[in-house]
C-alpha cells in the first residue's frame, strides 16, 4: 500500500509490528495464524495436507491429493479462505472460519448454477 500512497505506512495494518509484505499480509501475520489454523483444521477433516503457504497461497503441492475432484474441492476451499482475507482488507480483525464457510456455500451455489447450464 505504501508504494502506491506515500502517506501510508509500510507497517502491517493489523498492527502486528511487522512490515506489510505479501507473505505477511496473507500468511505470516500473527493475527492471521489462528484463522489459517482453523481453516486447515477444517480442510483436514476432509484431506490430510500440511499447513503450508505453498498450498494455501500459491496452490502448489496439491498433487498430494490424487483425485482431480478432491483437488478441485481443495482449491475452492483455499480460494474461499483467501477471498475472506481480501474482504477484510485494511481491517485489523481477521476473518472467522464461519465467514469462510459462508463463502464456500456461495461458491457452491454458483457451481450449481454453472453446472445446470
Neighbours of 32 (CB within 10 A): 21
8 Å CB contact between 99 and 22: no
pLDDT of residue 62: 78
pLDDT of residue 5: 59
What are the pLDDT digits (tens) for 55-86? Answer: 999 988 878 898 999 999 999 999 999 999 99
8 Å CB contact between 61 and 51: no
8 Å CB contact between 78 and 59: yes
Residue 6 Cα distances to 1, 3, 103, angstroms: 8, 6, 34
Alpha-carbon gap, residue 64 to 61, rounded angstroms: 6
Alpha-carbon gap, residue 100 to 67, rounded angstroms: 23
* Residues in the chain with pLDDT values less than 50: 1-2
Does this model's pTM top 0.85?
yes
Instruction: Using only the alpha carbons of the chain, give its radius of gyration.
Output: 16
Amino acid at each position: 500500500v505504501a508504494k502506491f500512497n506515500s502517506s501510508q505506512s509500510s507497517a502491517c495494518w493489523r498492527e502486528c509490528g511487522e512490515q506489510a509484505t505479501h507473505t505477511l499480509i496473507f500468511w505470516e501475520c500473527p493475527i492471521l495464524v489462528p484463522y489459517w489454523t482453523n481453516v486447515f483444521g477444517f480442510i483436514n477433516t476432509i484431506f490430510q495436507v500440511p499447513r503450508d503457504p505453498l498450498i494455501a497461497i500459491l496452490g502448489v503441492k496439491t498433487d498430494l491429493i490424487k483425485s482431480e475432484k478432491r483437488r478441485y474441492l481443495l482449491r475452492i476451499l483455499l480460494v474461499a479462505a483467501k477471498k475472506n482475507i481480501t474482504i477484510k482488507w485494511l481491517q485489523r480483525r481477521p476473518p472467522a472460519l464461519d465467514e469462510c464457510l459462508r463463502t464456500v456455500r456461495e461458491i457452491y451455489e454458483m457451481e450449481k448454477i454453472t453446472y445446470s447450464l
